[in-house]
């Protein structure tokens, strides 16, 4: 099978635009692309899914064990022509430096993915050759098969870089992408705009850019070094219960595997829009993921029927899981960047305050409660809690530096917190919530 991981020297090098363009361009050629995103990402992954026309899976070697990572990869590769994986941050950026655990490179090694590097050439020329040689020297366990140069200022800039690469490296140059006068996608505090905000012209523009400047034939010919393992078809149980999943422009951050795991436990998914005030009165389980509720706080504050439904569901002792943005909906309210308070459902006695700067980023491990000790999750937020009159349910330790913190509120079978968890991690948060 063909496949490649698109990595970069750092965030902001353009790998999302280029990987999105590759996915759509190859799909336009009739190839069936299996898209993946390294790390705990929700925004880039949805763009890849739309571009490829196939569900996207997250590949995270911190949240998931080796066997689970391989199973997810093999399952999604079935029936496809090419595995296309977008890295996260810089190629070797992870949680430890010895073997670069938790990095895009770590995922590439485990799954047999050759690497193609996207390098940002803004404000440099010949030094790109040194940067590429450095990346190559550390790719000891999987090959660096090619490089794509991005952000070229002119034809002369391209000439200088080509000559340096030819003289000082043996890595094939697969493409030279010129600087764009305007970004193809707008950005905000958590990354680029979500796929729900973009129309098809964005994906077509990314594909046009890639087709004009990248050798897709050479890229699509790269073989995986380890073929995906064969797998048995999983039989889904009868879905006799309903899980209502919030999905609209305010709430859209979900791992594909989490939704599939809910189905595997006998729930039929029914999507609803909190922004539109929709409810699912017969839901047995409600799942509200992260997103951008702060951008729509005024509208969400007026959805009284939604608020009442969530309060009734929680009070009845039925499972309700709310992650990050979902948790914000369950507090007393959201204070926006201008100091305005927008009332929310009030299931938990606390308020969320948007701060204008990042408050947390990284992997955390649960220390308490004992049943979930060792479970790793991820947090990324620009808000903080204030006026908290609830006991916290989780005692957390940051994976990279051991810093301690607390998170999460619980009432009956309602659980809400900033941290996002993968349902295939062990211990299982889903087991803990549904069986308590």
For the stretch 105-130, pLDDT in tens is 999 999 999 999 999 999 999 999 99
Same domain, 170 and 312: no
Which of 179-183, 250-254, 275-279, 334-338 has the least mean pLDDT? 179-183
Q: Which of 184, 219, 254 is the last residue of a domain?
A: 219
Across residues 371-400, what is the average pLDDT?
A: 97
- Is 363 a domain residue? yes
pLDDT for position 188: 63
Q: Which of 167, 185, 219 is the last residue of a domain?
A: 219
Return d(Cα 433, Cα 274) in angstroms, integer: 22
pLDDT for position 96: 96
- Is 205 a domain residue? yes
Is it the case that residue 189 has pLDDT exceeding 80?
Answer: no
CATH of the domain at 362: 3.40.50.880
pLDDT for position 231: 64
Is it the case that residue 356 has pLDDT exceeding 90?
Answer: no
Q: What is the pLDDT of residues 309-324, one digit of tens each?
A: 999 999 999 999 999 9
Is it the case that residue 104 has pLDDT exceeding 80?
Answer: yes
Same domain, 30 and 165: yes
Token digits of residue 289: 């993921």
Same domain, 201 and 257: no
Is it the case that residue 192 has pLDDT exceeding 80?
Answer: no
pLDDT band at residue 196 using 50, 70 and 90 as cut-offs: confident
Is it the case that residue 407 has pLDDT exceeding 90?
Answer: yes
Three-state secondary structure of 315-336: HCCCCEEEECHHHHHHCCEEEC
The pLDDT > 70 percentage for the chain reads 97
- Is 253 a domain residue? yes
Return d(Cα 283, Cα 270) in angstroms, integer: 8
Same domain, 149 and 16: yes
pLDDT band at residue 233 using 50, 70 and 90 as cut-offs: low
Same domain, 144 and 7: yes
Q: Treating both helix axes as pointing N-terminal to C-terminal, what angle do 43-52 and 15-28 enclose, rounded to 10 degrees?
A: 20
Same domain, 269 and 215: no
Q: What is the pLDDT of residues 279-309, one digit of tens each?
A: 999 999 999 999 999 999 999 999 999 999 9
Phi-psi region of 235 (alpha: psi -120 to 50; beta: other; left: phi over 0): beta
Domain count, the chain: 2
Q: How many helices (H) and strands (E) does the chain have?
A: 13, 25
Across residues 240-246, what is the average pLDDT?
A: 97
Is it the case that residue 190 has pLDDT exceeding 90?
Answer: no
Is it the case that residue 83 has pLDDT exceeding 90?
Answer: yes
pLDDT for position 250: 96
Return d(Cα 228, Cα 83) in angstroms, integer: 10
Same domain, 18 and 52: yes
Is it the case that residue 21 has pLDDT exceeding 80?
Answer: yes
Is it the case that residue 8 has pLDDT exceeding 80?
Answer: yes
Could you tell me the CA-to-CA distances from 384 to 331, 360, 401 in Å, in that order? 12, 9, 21
Return d(Cα 288, Cα 329) in angstroms, integer: 9
Q: What is the sign of the dihedral through the CA atoms of 266, 268, 269 and 274?
A: negative
Sheet with 333-335: strands ordered across: 341-343, 333-335, 351-354, 383-386
Same domain, 139 and 261: no
- Is 230 a domain residue? no
Q: Which residue has the higher pLDDT, 54 or 195?
A: 54
- Is 326 a domain residue? yes
Same domain, 162 and 46: yes
- Which residues span the domain enclosing 341? 241-435
Active-site choice (77, 139, 206, 324): 324
pLDDT for position 370: 96
Is it the case that residue 157 has pLDDT exceeding 70?
Answer: yes
Same domain, 36 and 114: yes
Q: Which of 187, 219, 251 is the last residue of a domain?
A: 219
Q: Is the pTM of this model over 0.85?
A: yes
pLDDT band at residue 183 using 50, 70 and 90 as cut-offs: low
Same domain, 213 and 362: no
- Is 149 a domain residue? yes
Q: Which residue has the higher pLDDT, 229 or 15?
A: 15
- Is 36 a domain residue? yes
Is residue 324 annotated as a catalytic residue, yes or no? Answer: yes
Return d(Cα 245, Cα 421) in angstroms, integer: 16
CATH of the domain at 156: 3.40.50.300
- Is 112 a domain residue? yes
Across residues 265-275, what is the average pLDDT?
A: 97
Same domain, 20 and 169: yes
Average pLDDT taken over every residue of the chain: 95
């Amino acid at each position: 099978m063909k496949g490649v991981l698109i990595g970069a020297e750092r965030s902001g090098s353009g790998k999302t635009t280029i990987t999105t363009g590759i996915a759509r361009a190859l799909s336009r050629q009739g190839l069936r692309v299996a898209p993946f995103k390294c790390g705990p990402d929700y925004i880039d992954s949805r763009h890849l899914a739309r571009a490829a026309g196939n569900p996207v899976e997250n590949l995270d070697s911190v949240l998931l064990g080796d066997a689970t990572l391989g199973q997810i990869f093999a399952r999604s590769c079935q029936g496809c022509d090419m595995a296309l994986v977008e890295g996260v941050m810089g190629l070797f950026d992870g949680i430890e430096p010895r073997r670069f655990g938790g990095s895009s490179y770590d995922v590439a090694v485990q799954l047999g993915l050759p690497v193609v590097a996207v390098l940002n050439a803004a404000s440099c020329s010949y030094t790109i050759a040194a940067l590429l040689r450095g990346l190559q020297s550390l790719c000891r366990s999987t090959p660096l098969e090619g490089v794509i140069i991005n952000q070229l200022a002119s034809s002369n800039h391209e000439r200088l870089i080509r000559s340096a690469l030819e003289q000082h490296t043996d890595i094939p140059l697969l493409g030279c992408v010129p600087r764009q006068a305007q970004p193809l996608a707008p950005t905000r505090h958590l990354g680029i705009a979500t796929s729900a905000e973009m129309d098809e012209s964005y994906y077509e523009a990314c594909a046009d850019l890639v087709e004009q400047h990248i050798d897709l034939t050479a890229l699509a010919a790269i073989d995986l070094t380890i073929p995906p393992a064969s797998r048995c078809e999983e039989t889904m149980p009868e879905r006799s219960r309903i899980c209502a999943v919030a999905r609209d422009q305010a709430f859209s951050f979900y791992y594909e595997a989490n939704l599939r795991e809910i189905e595997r436990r006998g729930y039929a998914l029914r999507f609803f829009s909190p922004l539109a005030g929709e409810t699912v009165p017969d839901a047995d389980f409600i799942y509200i993921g992260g997103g951008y509720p702060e951008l729509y706080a005024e509208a969400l504050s007026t959805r009284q029927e939604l608020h009442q439904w969530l309060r009734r569901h929680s009070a009845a002792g039925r499972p309700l899981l709310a992650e990050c943005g979902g948790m914000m909906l369950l507090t007393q309210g959201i204070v926006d960047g201008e100091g305005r308070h927008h009332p929310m459902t009030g299931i938990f006695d606390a308020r969320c305050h948007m701060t204008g700067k990042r408050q947390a980023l990284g992997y955390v491990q649960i220390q308490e409660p004992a049943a979930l000790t060792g479970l790793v999750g991820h947090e990324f937020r620009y808000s903080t809690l204030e006026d908290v009159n609830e006991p916290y349910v989780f005692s957390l330790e940051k994976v990279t530096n051991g810093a301690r913190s607390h998170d999460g509120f619980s009432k009956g079978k309602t659980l809400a917190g900033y941290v996002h968890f993968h349902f295939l991690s062990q211990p299982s948060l889903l087991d803990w919530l549904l069986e308590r």
